[in-house]
Amino acid sequence: MVASGGLALDLWDDEVFLMPPLDVEEVRTALSRLRTWPLLTGFRGLLEIDLSPVMVSPDRVSCVDAKIRITTA
């Protein structure tokens, strides 16, 4: 599941489900279907993503609770 999370998820039912194995294009397409996609592409000069928990495998990915925030200021 890829989702906007928090209030946006509850309000807009903003989630996309994927089944492995995945390729890069599938993931990009799924992300672009989110209503909150503009927030991930720099809407108003901001970009924020919260990865919580994310543990994939075979041969890893992990990332248990990380927040990334990029601004242009």
Inform me whether the pLDDT recorded for 72 exceeds 70: no
Q: What digits encode the pLDDT tens for the residues 15-57? A: 889 888 889 999 889 889 988 888 777 777 767 778 878 888 8
Q: Which residues contact 56 (CB under 8 A, 6 or more apart)?
A: 20, 62
Determine the pLDDT at residue 25.
93
Alpha-carbon span 56 to 50, nearest angstrom: 16
What's the Cα-to-Cα distance from 52 to each of 23, 29, 33, rounded to whole Å?
21, 21, 20
Determine the pLDDT at residue 29.
92
Mean pLDDT of 49-70: 83
Alpha-carbon span 25 to 54, nearest angstrom: 19
